[in-house]
Amino acid sequence: MSKAAPSTDEVREHLKALMAAHGVALSDYKDWLVTGEELPAMRGNWIHQIGNQEIGRLDIHVLPDRDRVINESFAGVGSDGERYGDALQNFQLGSLHVLLSALWAQPHDSVVVQDWQFPSGRWTVHIGEFVSRCLGPDEVDFPPDLLDVIKNALLRADLTPEVHWLRTFYCKPGGGDTVVEVLLDNAEWAEGEQAVSQAHWPASDYYYSLRNFLILVPQV
């Protein structure tokens, strides 16, 4: 990276390079990056420091259609010269390949694609990896049925026949309070949070977290 706190233009160029490496050429249109003159479109923004902590945040916005925006955020930790690279890496691990698979038809080995039958119809679901962070000396055994937990909760949701996206985040910070965040189309989803909270999470005296991102595309 060119410096500790990249400009908006530099973030744009980094996103172009990332997408080009996966076969998608993006061009500038106002403050968005577009494929030709069609959607989807993408843009990014970097916040170098959150409060007094050595934490930054990379915000990624994607337009799947003209009326809605996928908002994904990725923390970057470390010194001035490390934060942005860490956040960009988290984006690549957590959501980039799901977006490419679902919206740009670029498959990746890390994305599982499944057909799910809903009461409202059939959907193609692009499921990203479960990305974990563990600060303890031992490996953490996460709930093996977590995807089924998420799927069963979604099957009870009243989804309209359009693209939807779901981000799941679970964090147990050692001695602090557990954080559970499940966002459906950017909004807090109480039913999903309840289902994820009730999964069999391991006890630990050390920090650990798990993050997942998936996109549902209705079949015509």
Strands 207-218 and 121-127: antiparallel
Tell which of 68, 103, 138 closes a domain: 103
Pair (134, 90) in one structural domain: no
Q: Is the pLDDT of residue 56 over 60?
A: yes
Least confident of 101-105, 135-139, 158-162: 135-139
Pair (81, 125) in one structural domain: no
Does residue 82 lie within any of the structural domains? yes
Pair (29, 63) in one structural domain: yes
Pair (93, 137) in one structural domain: no
Pair (140, 166) in one structural domain: yes
Q: Is the pLDDT of residue 110 over 90?
A: yes
Query: What pLDDT band is residue 3 in, cutting at 50, 70 and 90?
Result: low
Q: Is the pLDDT of residue 37 over 90?
A: no
Tell which of 45, 68, 103 closes a domain: 103
Each residue's pLDDT tens digit, 21-35? 999 999 999 999 998
Pair (95, 29) in one structural domain: yes
Pair (128, 162) in one structural domain: yes
Each residue's pLDDT tens digit, 163-209? 999 999 999 987 778 999 999 999 999 999 999 999 999 888 899 99
Domain count of the fold of the chain: 2
Range of the domain at 159: 112-218
Pair (146, 66) in one structural domain: no
Pair (142, 60) in one structural domain: no
Q: What is the mean pLDDT of the chain?
A: 92
Q: Give the whole-angstrom CA distance, residue 115 versus residue 163.
A: 14
Pair (99, 197) in one structural domain: no
Q: Is the pLDDT of residue 1 over 60?
A: no
Per-residue pLDDT at 77: 87
Q: How many CB atoms lie within 10 A of CB 144?
A: 9
Pair (30, 98) in one structural domain: yes
Per-residue pLDDT at 151: 96
Query: What pLDDT band is residue 138 in, cutting at 50, 70 and 90?
Result: confident
Does residue 96 lie within any of the structural domains? yes
Q: What are all long-range contacts of 37-44, with beta carbons under 8 Å and residues at least 24 apart? A: 39/63, 39/64, 39/65, 39/66, 40/64, 40/99, 40/103, 40/104, 42/15, 42/99, 43/12, 43/15, 44/11, 44/12, 44/14, 44/15
Average pLDDT on 119-131 reads 94
* Proportion of the chain above pLDDT 90, given as a percent: 74
Q: Is the pLDDT of residue 75 over 70?
A: yes
Q: Which tokens is 136 given?
A: 């303890």
Q: Is the pLDDT of residue 118 over 50?
A: yes
